[in-house]
Structure 1
Amino acid sequence: MSSDVEGGDLLGSLLASLLADFDHWFTRGQTLLEQCPDGVLSTGDRLELAERLADGKRSIAATRSLLQASPEPVAVSMKAMAPWHQLVMEVWALSARVSRASS
């Protein structure tokens, strides 16, 4: 097997794992919003975050489709992933706030 093929396989595997992680945390965020007490986030803030999580999930699905459709290994830029990372950090913060409110 050539190093190009091995590199492409490794890139594909890493991207698949990374996209699965993003998808997991976006789904977790949606679940947290369903359980979120009113004192943690206002209705407007919950709706806004829910829309951004839904957008994130759509972006992940679109990225997966593009990666699968490409005959060559494809990378995803850090600029494209930065908003997803930010959203994951918001989910982590929400998780902590919901946990504190529940205890």
Structure 2
Amino acid sequence: MQDSNLPGTELLKTVLEPLLEDFDYWFGRSRHLLETEQLSFMSHQEQSDLLLRVKQAQTELNTAKMLFAATDKQVGLDMTTLAPWHQLVTECWNVGMRFHQEKEKS
């Protein structure tokens, strides 16, 4: 369990930095899947729309990471920013799981 007496900057570095890296990893992995595979359970338009949302989230995430770094890790992010990213990652996980299930069937 983390020490709740950590100064604000240390708390941000301990919690937010790894969270941003996780988002970066999952958005990158999802983007690769959406750009390199044709998903049989999604229409071309659905896949394109999801890819567009992932790209937009990556742009937002990169901006947040640059701001975080430029302020010496002293800027946090509001939940209204993080919640849609979390929902998108969850949606991408579901697509990825379904892709692998479909692949195993064939």
TM-score, length basis structure 2: 0.82
Provide Cα deviations, 1:35-80, integer angstroms capped at 9, x if missing partner: 5444221110111011100011111100011112225712111111
- Which fold has the larger relative contact order, with Cα–Cα distance below 8 Å and residues 6 or more apart in sequence? 1
- Judge conservation of contact 1:37–1:101 (CA < 8 Å) in 2: no
Counterpart CA distance in 2 for 1:101 and 1:32 is 14
Q: 1:15 to 1:40 in 2, by over 3 A?
A: same
Q: 1:72 to 1:25 in 2, by over 3 A?
A: closer
Q: Aligned AA for 1:9?
A: E
Counterpart CA distance in 1 for 2:68 and 2:24 is 15
Equivalenced residues, count: 100
Q: Give the SS at the match of 1:41.
A: coil
TM-score, length basis structure 1: 0.85
1:83 corresponds in structure 2 to 84
- Judge conservation of contact 1:22–1:88 (CA < 8 Å) in 2: yes
- Judge conservation of contact 2:13–2:73 (CA < 8 Å) in 1: no
RMSD of Structure 2 on Structure 1 (CA): 1.9
1:97 corresponds in structure 2 to 98
Counterpart CA distance in 2 for 1:47 and 1:35 is 12
- Judge conservation of contact 1:8–1:73 (CA < 8 Å) in 2: yes
The structural deviation recorded for 1:82 is 0.7
Structure 2 gaps of 5+ residues are: none
